Structure 1
Amino acid sequence: MREFGLIGRTLSHSFSQTYFSQKFHNLGLSDHQYELFELAAVQDLPVLLQQHPELYGLNVTIPYKEQVWPFLDEIAPSAARVGAVNVIQFASDGRLIGHNTDMIGFRDSLQTFVPAGFDGRALVLGSGGASKAVEVALRDLGIGYWVVSRNPLGSGLTYEELTPRLVQEHLLIINTTPLGTHPNVQECPAIPYGSLTASHYLYDLIYNPRETEFMQRGQAVGAQTKNGFEMLCLQAEAAWQIWNEEPLDQ
């Protein structure tokens, strides 16, 4: 049996198990399975590995994308660029290698969302591991941005500093926080929603629910919106390539 899985603190919202289980079924891989592993702390990872010697690969989600680094033997260039790990490769020699496919998934998904040649600026809501992947993708695409966080950042903004004018001047707004994830669907980042227009593009990395409160508030004024489901699929396919030692288009 070849076992794969997802580690995180709370995984009831995750679609990864369904995604990969369906993939294994479609490929006729009856000896493959994908499990959800909720860890109370990232320090529980070594015990998990001992208990599951058939593991061939792991995905990593909130809040362990940065905390998992000390437990890895090597960091791939993709994870080094982003500063976060969302895929762990189990190398044939036993080494654990950390990768990041969130950047690939977001970059490729964003390019199907905003118009070709988009020259506006972006606001990135949140400063966690997912935010770092978004930042790298935006830099690769030549899109300027501000990071908005609850805590003061050296080169970012706090939510208190996010004025209506700044929202009007930044036509792409990306939610990388977990606010609005099922079951807390009434939550959303605290931005001046009254300044949104039909010219805005709101991208939410959340995919459960399909339409978050953040997205609905944009839709109410005619803004274009997109959730993170396509990004999930794209990053999952990139993870599958890594686990099968296939080259990635990075």
Structure 2
Amino acid sequence: MVSKVVDARRAAVLGSPIAHSLSPVLHRAAYDALGLTDWSYDRFEMDEAALPGFLEKLGPEWAGLSLTMPLKRAVIPLVDEISETAASVDAVNTVVFAEDGRRIGDNTDIPGMVAALREHGIEQVDSAAILGAGATASSALAALARICTGEVVAYVRSETRAAEMRQWGERLDVDVRTADWSDAAQALRAPLVIATTPAGTTDALAAAVPERPATLFDVLYDPWPTELAARWSMFGGAVVSGLDLLVHQAVLQVEQMTGRSPVPLEAMRRAGEKALAAR
């Protein structure tokens, strides 16, 4: 009995709101497939003010944490080190607790985007378009820094957002040009379109999908498909979904937290699809 208590490991996702998160479903599916019967994965509603106290109370049974909004930047001063990937966008979505007690922050969203695109045959593009600005758009830019050899056009709603995207481009060494959202239909002709906007924002663009679209990466997964993704598929274009991203970034988290590889991506994907179908 004592051995079981010592061997049991814990992980969780933190954020606000958190009730909708699929992370518990994905991580638990990985534990089941890997035979990690003593591992558990929970979710906690958490804001920035509560985060320091929560971290201080964690015991040695904790292997790691997944972080969503609004904690991805708030956690940075609370960790001992962060990866270059996380530092590049000032966002940590993964904290792993080392054996010596150090808290190590990383960002699996960026390599998760690259892996999701690679799974769909996209390893390099000569240009791309981003719909939207903000935290997800900056992660998209960081992913494009790895696979895009030319210009990235970001379609935004304000000059403030445009300036932010240009600054991210300079920081990430990506050739970024900004355009007004009123011209967003032009984005749909790019070799790769990454939609980072909230649900419903791109619905009006569905009618502008070209006859032979290339690849759409829509980071949403609920509701799915979006009107844009459905129209894109109808016209024969390749579609990468938010669930693809969620699964790939979760695979990297499970690898870091458990030290196990390979991680059962397909089992995690099936669990995510089943959970979404039940909503």
The answer to which structure has the higher helix fraction is 2
Q: Does 1:167 align with 2:187?
A: yes
Q: 1:191 to 1:88 in 2, by over 3 A?
A: farther
Shift of 1:221: 4.3
Shift of 1:12: 2.7
Q: Which amino acid aligns with 1:42?
A: E
Q: Does 1:113 align with 2:120?
A: yes
Shift of 1:88: 0.7
Partner of 1:219: 233
Counterpart-to-counterpart distance in 2, 1:52 and 1:83: 24
Q: Which amino acid aligns with 1:86?
A: N
Tell me which of the two structures has the higher relative contact order, counting C-alpha pairs closer than 8 angstroms and 6 or more residues apart: 2
Is this contact kept in 2: 1:167–1:196, CA < 8 A?
no
Q: 2:51 aligns with which of 45, 51, 59?
A: 45
Is this contact kept in 2: 1:123–1:145, CA < 8 A?
yes
Counterpart-to-counterpart distance in 2, 1:111 and 1:95: 32
Q: Deviations over 1:74-110 (max 9, x none)?
A: 1112211233111111122222221011111110111
Q: 1:229 aligns with which of 208, 220, 243?
A: 243
Q: Normalization by structure 2: what TM-score?
A: 0.74
Is this contact kept in 2: 1:83–1:132, CA < 8 A?
no
Q: Does 1:157 align with 2:171?
A: no
Is this contact kept in 1: 2:125–2:192, CA < 8 A?
no
Shift of 1:190: 6.8
Shift of 1:72: 1.9
Partner of 2:269: none
Q: Deviations over 1:23-68 (max 9, x none)?
A: 21222222210011111x2121122224542322011112322232
Q: 1:88 aligns with which of 90, 95, 108?
A: 95
Counterpart-to-counterpart distance in 2, 1:233 and 1:163: 28
Counterpart-to-counterpart distance in 2, 1:50 and 1:168: 47
- Alignment length (residue pairs): 238
Counterpart-to-counterpart distance in 2, 1:160 and 1:209: 23
Q: What is the CA RMSD across the aligned residues, in angstroms?
A: 2.7
Higher Cα radius of gyration: 2
Q: 1:168 to 1:150 in 2, by over 3 A?
A: closer
